[in-house]
Amino acid sequence: MWKQFCNWLLYKRWGWTAEITQDHPDKFIICLAPHTSNWDFVLGQLYSGAIGMKINFLMKKEWFFWPLGSVFKWLGGIPVHRQKHTSMTDAMAEAAKEANTFRLCITPEGTRARREEWKKGFYFIGMKAQLPILLYGIDYEKKLIKCTKTIIPMGDLDTDMRDIKLYFKDFKGKKPENFTIGEL
């Protein structure tokens, strides 16, 4: 029932389309951009519901207050304590290695505001846990959710980040002025 509702709302009612050419193995990371609005979260939840796949996501801990905290955790949210200098990438990589399935969505900008420099934690988690990184773009202008490229992180951070940023360069966020791929 939930899957049918998500399909109806996302594709039929709101008119979005999806262009997905990449396989989704048992373990993977989604690098999702642009992230310029809270509506990205809604679209992500509808999309994962429509494909029938629960995908965890990182979110700043400030959102995990009652009653929203329980809802976000139920949806797959993992609170991030940005003020503490914990090794989140190591913890996520270890969790991925130990799990039978691991699906984690991360926005490399780390915020909805314009950010010239992207965070690289998603890359390091993928490299440490030997996971593919699926590149998912949301284009509000075309009403398109697209995943046509996968990166296998091998440690050449500069080259891989350049390829990742170039993949996202033409996507239009809900608030396009808040998105940049920064310097290459």
State residue 173's pLDDT score.
Answer: 95
- Residue 70: the pLDDT is 77
Q: Domain locations in the chain?
A: 2-178
Task: Give the full edge-to-edge strand order of the sheet including 102-106.
Answer: 17-20, 144-151, 133-139, 27-33, 102-106, 56-60, 77-80
> How high is the pLDDT of residue 183?
82
pLDDT along the chain (184 residues), means of 10: 96 98 97 95 95 87 75 72 72 91 92 85 95 98 98 94 96 94 85
Give the span between the Cα atoms of 144 and 25, in whole angstroms. Answer: 22
Report the amino acid identity of residue 95: A
Give the chain's length.
184
What pLDDT, on a 0 to 100 scale, did the predictor assign at position 110?
Answer: 75
What predicted TM-score, i.e. pTM, was given to this entire model? Answer: 0.89
Distance separating alpha carbons of residues 47 and 85, to the nearest angstrom: 32
